[in-house]
Structure 1
Amino acid sequence: MGTREVDVLDARRTQVPARILVLAGLSLLVWLVVMVQLVHPDLMDVRVYRAEGRALLDGLDPYGPLDGVHGVNTYPPFAALVFVPAALAPVGFVEVASVVVNLMLFVVVCWQSVRLAGGRTSVATVGVLAAVALWSEPVTTSLLYGQINLALLALVLWDVNLPADSRWRGLGIGLAAGIKVTPGLLIVYLLLTGRIRAALTATGTVLVTIGVTALVNADATWAYWTHHLFDFSRMGRLENAANQSVRGWLVRAHHSRDTPPAEMLLVLAVLVVGLTVAVLAYRRLGDAWGLPAAALTGLLVSPISWSHHWVWCVPVLALLWCQARAWAIPALFVFWTYVVWLVPHGHAVELDLNRLQVALSGAYAVFAIGFLTLTAVRSRTHTGSPT
């Protein structure tokens, strides 16, 4: 090959990332225009977070009525401590900052997701994933609410992508669990997969967060870990169609907020089977499959898993695109069609859904069960070393 041909190839290689960056930038620009001009986001959770930090600063009960907002605090007290800086800034600044920071975290999540999936962490790959994933319902809803889901996901992915012998392994998962309880199931995943040191680090990190907040507000810390944690009514209506947990789906299916013991046993069975699949996947396929399996299991068995909690669709899509491309189509259909919003919402109307509406209202749960099934099949048929 002559020098001229090499120069042409090099020029084409440099053009690809440039085109991808233009695509990603165009996707972001159109997304911003649509959200600002048509959707008009209220960023309501940002104001709740800010009020939590303000209550802690003022020595008030962060689990009581919050000044200026309608929501209540459902997170561990360490989260309120993290939100204190937001309480020191004007609300308008905090709202804009939440969007900017969340978008930056979103890019980090895309990069870490490709890395976990074993793909090339090139500008082109990460740019395409970002351009597509930005429009998914969980990511968009997280951004519109000003939620912290992307921050928690970034912490977990950073943790798992660390070298196996890193002394920091477990820190990210522990911090995520200290801010929001749901990632705590990943500590069990670490333990079951034999990573005892990482599990202990994660557990120790959670205990440190509890100790720190006990020093700041002992009453609130005690109240949360002994009472508020188990008060599911604080989290919202179980039947809400945005609740994509197994229990929420069952409540809508039998048209009652009561969950019979047999159905609670079903939730327990999902937990056991899901963790079993996650452990098997880790041993055969590595964290690329094991971690999402454990995370989706946590979303399935949590009493309430709002649709914006399912930002795990980003690493799942990256994984499917890199290793099981045909299965990316169901993911796109479920998370990019906003199907969970096609059923009635609000004022307990979800307790009167017809059969088709009930089926549509559990789309994320169905996908997660399908993903666990796919993971189990691939784990059983895989004969090589973990990826």
Structure 2
Amino acid sequence: MSLSTIETTVVPSAPERRTVPAVAFWTIFVLGAVAGGYYVEQALATPAMFTHLMDLSVYQIAGHRVADGVSIYDTPLLGHTRGVWEFVYTPFAALLFVPLIDLHGEPYTWVGMLGNFAMLTASAWAALSMLGYRRDRRLVLLGLPIAGLLLWCEPVRETMAFGQINIFLLLLVLADMALPDSSRWKGVLTGIAAGIKLTPAFFVIYLLVTRRYRAAATATGAFAATVLIGLAAMPKDSLTFWSGAFADPTRVGVPENPSNESLRGMLARTVGVAGNHQLLWLAGAFAIAAICLCLARRLSLTGHELPAVVLCGLTTTAVSPYSWVHHWVWLAPLLIYLADLAFRRRGIAAPLGLLLALAVASGGVFALLGSAFSSTINYPSDKTFGLLIHNAYIWLTLALFTTAAIQSRRLRTQAVEPSRMR
């Protein structure tokens, strides 16, 4: 039997949307209120740790440079050291930062924090919608306590503290993928996300391999529009960026930096940066991307859209030349998916998977054990188990690949058996 026949067999009809049970709603509501309240208490007590908004301040400097007609790529935005505080986003992204130049004092802090929290809430709503829950008032309200719980996911917490753009990009892609395939607007938000930071362009390939050609074309068109807008408003900087600055990882920093939580960072810290390091990283990144697309295609074709999209999001971060901890915000919808799975399925496999992901995404359990290492990335990579612990995000992603492959094989077997009986 051909692959196309199997795919046709296993694609389910659109199920009726579920309603969040009352017990689950109130449990999440209480837990989210406690978690969110504790986060606010900590943020007010130690603003230098929770609300310093350093990256948002750098975005503000980029907005000032655009308004003043000064290049954003020729020199670092702060200081004079290459690879430190250099602008690494597109000219279109810099245009989006111009409105920040009028924000100062407390309004600046509140906009930075509440803006990210609102987008985190909307991202949770989009993820739940992709899981098949009814888009009613209860689901809208549930997004708030879920966001409160996700504040303790380390990449989310770091994004909030730095005032980073990652949650915004997460929301754009999730909201786009939550649209029905029949929507003529599907692909627009993904194209805009790629026009701000290039890594979401991977989702255009995902749309292609899942045969959503119109959405892929729409995303490509939206991306092209952002390039043209940037070119029209900032021709010199656009030429600098697209002629090579976008492909220069040294603008971010050295690959062996302990904070580089990507495959390249892991390899650089393990085998060094000399010799065939670059070739090894490219081969590994290509292999991971290819495997991800195969698995995500199978998940999508069998009606598991959210895990397919999450797998792609984690892959973009894993294969990127440089990934800070706050780039791993795709762990947030992963936790939502695993929590839903643990709630609906019997057995211990799903709850154990959720606990493992929670241990990694929260930064580890070291602080709870009285250790000086409050995060997995603080664990020395040259110590015992350092290769495993320090690179926990990479290993978690590869573990998800294995799980997805096993599930894909099970679904294929279930599809073949009824076909043989006919």
Q: 2:328 aligns with which of 300, 310, 315?
A: 310
> What is the CA deviation profile of residues 222-259 of structure 1, one whole-angstrom value per residue up to 9, with x for unaligned ones?
11111111110111231223222111111111144662
Letter paired with 1:52:
A
1:1-387 alignment runs, 5 A limit: 20-38=28-46, 40-41=48-49, 42-65=52-75, 71-90=85-104, 92-119=106-133, 122-123=138-139, 125-256=142-273, 259-323=277-341, 325-326=350-351, 327-338=353-364, 341-344=375-378, 353-382=382-411
Letter paired with 1:85:
P
Gap change, CA 1:68 and 1:274, over 3 Å in 2? closer
Residue 212 of structure 1 and its aligned partner are, at CA, apart by: 0.6
**Is the 1:113–1:157 contact (alpha carbons within 8 Å) kept by the matching residues of 2?**
yes
After superposition, the CA RMSD in angstroms is 2.5
Determine the C-alpha separation between the residues in 2 that align with 1:91 and 1:225.
35
Determine the C-alpha separation between the residues in 2 that align with 1:92 and 1:210.
34
> What is the CA deviation profile of residues 63-103 of structure 1, one whole-angstrom value per residue up to 9, with x for unaligned ones?
13356666121001111000010013326532321101001
Gap change, CA 1:343 and 1:67, over 3 Å in 2? closer
Residue 311 of structure 1 and its aligned partner are, at CA, apart by: 0.9
Letter paired with 1:88:
D
Aligned twin of 2:12? none
Determine the C-alpha separation between the residues in 1 that align with 2:115 and 2:24.
27
> What is the CA deviation profile of residues 83-137 of structure 1, one whole-angstrom value per residue up to 9, with x for unaligned ones?
0100133265323211010011111111111222234663575455333211110
**Is the 2:121–2:146 contact (alpha carbons within 8 Å) kept by the matching residues of 1?**
no
Determine the C-alpha separation between the residues in 2 that align with 1:375 and 1:26.
33
TM-score w.r.t. structure 2 length? 0.80
Letter paired with 1:190:
L
Question: 3-state DSSP class of the match of 2:330?
Answer: helix
Aligned twin of 2:8? none
**Is the 1:47–1:91 contact (alpha carbons within 8 Å) kept by the matching residues of 2?**
no
Letter paired with 2:390:
S
**Is the 1:243–1:307 contact (alpha carbons within 8 Å) kept by the matching residues of 2?**
yes
Determine the C-alpha separation between the residues in 1 that align with 2:118 and 2:377.
32
Determine the C-alpha separation between the residues in 2 that align with 1:296 and 1:104.
22
Determine the C-alpha separation between the residues in 1 that align with 2:188 and 2:36.
32
**Is the 1:175–1:206 contact (alpha carbons within 8 Å) kept by the matching residues of 2?**
yes
Flag structure 2 segments of 5+ consecutive residues without an equivalent. 1-20, 343-349, 366-373, 416-422
Q: Quick one: percent identity of the two aligned structures?
A: 30
Residue 40 of structure 1 and its aligned partner are, at CA, apart by: 1.7
Residue 377 of structure 1 and its aligned partner are, at CA, apart by: 1.4
**Is the 2:155–2:361 contact (alpha carbons within 8 Å) kept by the matching residues of 1?**
yes
Determine the C-alpha separation between the residues in 1 that align with 2:215 and 2:67.
33
Determine the C-alpha separation between the residues in 2 that align with 1:120 and 1:132.
21
Determine the C-alpha separation between the residues in 2 that align with 1:24 and 1:201.
37
**Is the 1:149–1:309 contact (alpha carbons within 8 Å) kept by the matching residues of 2?**
yes
Determine the C-alpha separation between the residues in 2 that align with 1:343 and 1:268.
25
Question: 3-state DSSP class of the match of 2:256?
Answer: coil
Gap change, CA 1:26 and 1:211, over 3 Å in 2? same
Determine the C-alpha separation between the residues in 2 that align with 1:304 and 1:265.
16
Gap change, CA 1:36 and 1:243, over 3 Å in 2? farther
Determine the C-alpha separation between the residues in 2 that align with 1:209 and 1:257.
37
Letter paired with 2:164:
Q
Flag structure 1 segments of 5+ consecutive residues without an equivalent. 1-12
